[in-house]
A and B are shown apart, each in its own frame.
Chain A
Amino acid sequence: MATNRVAPADVIGAQDRDPEAFRRVYFATADRIHRLARWLLGTADVDDVVQDIYVRAWDRLPELQEPAAFPGWLRQLALSVILRRRERERRRSGHEAPLAAAAREPQGGIAPGGLRLDLERAVARLPEKARQVFVLYDVEGHRHKEIADLLGISHHTSRSQLHRARALLKKFLTEEGS
């Protein structure tokens, strides 16, 4: 299992500015956060974005009221950083950029994982909005209302993009398997 459970004692330690506790928190959560950034953002500087997320987490941890809520809190913080970065790129390029080569060839950045690599490739082939909704709904467990708010789309669009994404993924994975 690549991602471990975060010990509440480590969260409390990190809140008390213990670097070793924060290191353990990082290693317990970084796989998941990196995948979230990789799938939503997909640019070559994903590693930098992940670092920014943890720097911000370090800065804001003292504000966290309930250590048990840390995993959800970290994901929200990560989403905030990632979606802002995406919006910035979109504004600069004037359109929604496709995933970068680094994301289309995930073997370079991810430890071998058999079928998981197929899923990585398939997700990278999804259209932008379908990929975002799929990641937020099926991977991260957000509801359509939350996704609509996060992405600035309607509930209906969120639903239709989810079904489109699933159908495309099934098609891509079938193609790869044949």
Chain B
Amino acid sequence: MTAAPRTDRESARAGRLYARLLRAYPAAYRARFGRAMRETFAHEHARLHDESPRATRVRRAAFWIVTITQAVWFGLGERLRARRRAARGVPMYTALPAPRSVWARWSMLGDARLALRLLARQPLFTVTAVASLAVGLAASTTIFSLADKLFLSPAPGIRDAARVVDLERTTNGRGFGTISFAALQELRARTRTLEALSATSRSPIALSLRVDGGSERLYGLAVSASYFDVFGTRPAIGRFFRAEEDEAPDARPVVVLSHRYWRERFQSDPGVLSRPLHVNDTAFDVIGVAEPGFEGPTFIGTDLWLPMAMVGTTRGRPTAELLAAGTDSALWRRAVGRLKPGVTREMAEAELNTLFDTLKRDERIVPASHRIRVLPSGTLPAPTRAPFAAFVGLLLIVTGGLLLIACSNVAGMLLARASTRQREMATRLAMGAGRGRLVSQLLVETVVLFALAAIVAAPLTLWLAQVVPALMPAAPYPLRGDLPIGLRALAFAGGAALVTGLVFGLAPARHALRADLAHMLHGRSATDGRDRQRLRHGLVAAQVALSLAMVITAGLFVRTLQTVSRMDAGFRTADVEVVTLDTTTVRAVGPEAAALMRRIEERLRTLPAIERVGYSGQAPLQGGSFDLGALRIPGAGPEIVEALQETDWDVVSPGYFGAVGLPILAGRAFTPEDRAARPLVAIVNETFARLVWPGQSALGRQFMLVKGPANDERAIEVVGVVKDAKYRSFDEPARPFIYAPFEQHPQAGAEWFIKHAPGAAIGREVRAAIAVVQPDLPVVMMQPFADTIAIGLLPQRLAAWIAGVVGLIGLFLAGLGLYGLAAFLVTQRRREIAIRMALGASPASVRALVLGRAARLGFAGAIAGLLLAAAVGRFIASQRLLVGIDALDPLTFALLTLALGVVLFAASYLPARSAAATEPARTLQAP
């Protein structure tokens, strides 16, 4: 318990602190005085204690304040002084030659510090290089994360994901069809290759949750009891379904909640297990909550799962009826399974098809043309994998291109630096520095540069990861929208940075070392590095090519969006809100659904802000279609039958045409009189009328609707002709289309089109009005009509945005690269230029010389870029991503090439002007 050791410790600590404070001083100063100052300080500090053993806190504080202030203030002062002196060339107090340890001499850390100092001395170079690399790295890491999430990583909560498979049905070897529930039951009972097999509804179904005084929308997925076994996931609380809970139809109302929904809706209250949940007017028991993160295998999530035996509640009909063999509704798009250990997908597929074939005896269960395909499970549902892969692949190529441009730009700058530092290198070699040592230093410099870029890229990537999911459109089901920047993406970014750093760092090093010492010391032959020049020229031309290709790609997408926005889909989208309702949530189907819709319409019409209301079975331009049955046109020839293959249908309310702004060209719109008990009527579009009754009036004509297993025919009379519109997608050709009255073919799901006064916000009023009519009917979705239509163009919008940003940055970088190269060449050839001018060359001809060289590079790059752009254009056109323009759209190509020319001219004009300003006398006299 003596005081002495404590004082010792305190002094040691004070000494260390002071050593750190000394870093405020310039290195040369520290080298000279650092040790002495630390010693002196130690005395001073000891004295403080000696003088007043119980040195008051005030004195100690004062001592430290003075010490710290002096160190910082004088340190800065010395730094300024050192810079002023260095600028005037006055030598500073030279450091005493300090013997360095062998370790220090070879330490990479020392190299890294030297590299940092060199970089700090060239802030423009450093900032440009780091910024361009960071943008490239961040963009490619984000896109890689997206690709990782969609294609590479299994969704969270899935164990042994390699054994999880999707079962799809093909027709004559093509497509992703549905498998009937009866067939799945048979397969599940007999399979020996699958450990577990579960049917699931095709996507989450909108449900209504009864809450105090109203309802909330939530989504549920109907699954077999074995669903959770397929994924090997575990409950967070409670349990999953038991087999007996998925047997007797509508007998055991139980649900499992997803962890996200449990957290968001119930604040993770374990008490949910003891309360009934009123979903679609049925009291369900919550038996468990899935583990955090698990919401099924795809990026489409869900709020809860219910057993297939309870699926009737989601459709407003008895389950037994829904799942009966031979009915349309017994088709389930998705089935998932888990392979037994050691079983391959091929083995499972062979076995399942053998079983499937035995089922084909009953044509109601399995038609002969059907086969089963076993696919690896993935975050993207199997049918969407190919188009998404193309899109993400394109993005990866585009961002990879940006990374390449940034890297080649930096490589160009490093090459330029390498040649200006050739003398330094030569001197050091001559003085005995090892070649390996120089290479290691150059490499370390490059790697430090790339490491800095990676550090800047990290927060940028995190920001992009926030922004990209926000670009996702509203969808009629929950999306697992988060974009985790995982280990893989980090490894990708790190690897990309490292590889590019090493590859591009080595090039200058190789050049520096191969060069001839004597020549380099002489300093004149710096221009002779022929292949260095060729390499640099190649890099600049490549940059020009890549960035031109990219801006043209962006331009093609922008032109697509432009064309589409000018393209008249035929609908009025301004001030129209689309509201999705599903009356099965209140068990209203068929005529009941129609009656409920009518009551809601009456209510909505009383709202002052609402001008027109109509509803239909589907929203246009969602990429899908719908039909009521086959057509038979009395007296129609085979060519007409062929042309009508592409006919689509919709069922609409009387107010629909007015609400979406489709004019009736002949005849009448539907009226409330077109009811179930009345003769069937239809309104056809212009194309249908022209195809079937060319040159004649379609009004009053009849055609046959063929329906059901017995091919029952019912006559439909045409009462009106409506203007053509776009139905599935913007780029489709004119398509025959039939509208039938909603009341005569009632649907439980309806899209409401509500035209309101400009600028009016009607969301709350509409919800309130619906709640008055039917308190537990939730609004599934509500969004502006324009947004609904825009979903179809999302890939183009994203691609235009990304390719545009990337292309512009690339163009800027290419300009910078050309500027750097031209300026460098001018500096190097200053003597040659001076001689030319002394011999009578005019400034204009010198300018032309420099511009000519730049133009040659730009021209070569542009040609390559145009070829590349043409290839990319062909590719995106083949993916049907371009609308209304050619893959080689002349306007886009010409305008953007011109823009590139302007940028490149600007980039090379400054060096050219500087070359023309050369004063021969002064340049030639200089040593």
Indicate whether A and B interact. Answer: no
